[in-house]
Amino acid sequence: MGTWDVGAFDNDTAADFGGDLDEVAPRSAVEIPPKPSSARSPALTRPQLLILGRHDQAGRLRTVGRTTTLRPDAACEVAEHLAAAGPGHPWEGVRFAASCGSRDVLDATLVRPDLVAEISADRAVDRGGVWCHALRFKRLRRPMVG
């Protein structure tokens, strides 16, 4: 393998860990496909976490918690079913804290509230029925057809 220069930071010694990187043919390099033109927000195509809600006895959608960061496979599964919320979403104008007790606000993208998620949670729930700790997303529950 050749070097670019003789200084400590001027050679490709780091690349030597990968073997024969200098000898890779130019056409065998990985090509990144062009970005698809889409009107979908990155939050809809690559969700990072979910803010979960449940309808109360009066039919109002109430926040009950947020998930930990979604694994890449889970984010793909969820993204396939997300659709942007239309006008009149029950959480329009609501600001969500980044974590319990935090003053940081999440940059949330509202979606149609028509999915059901299976989660794993501990038993710490506040008086309002909101989980105190982040929830672990397991999978989406498909609608049951009778």
Provide the whole-model pTM: 0.65
CB 41 within 8 A of CB 47: no
CB 45 within 8 A of CB 36: no
CA nearest to 140, candidates 11, 29, 50? 50
More confident residue, 1 or 123: 123
pLDDT in tens, 29-87: 444 444 444 456 778 889 999 999 999 999 999 999 999 999 999 999 999 999 999 99
Residues 52 and 135: their CA atoms lie apart, in Å, by 9
Report percent pLDDT > 70 for the chain: 71
**pLDDT value of position 144:** 52
Residues 132 and 142: their CA atoms lie apart, in Å, by 26
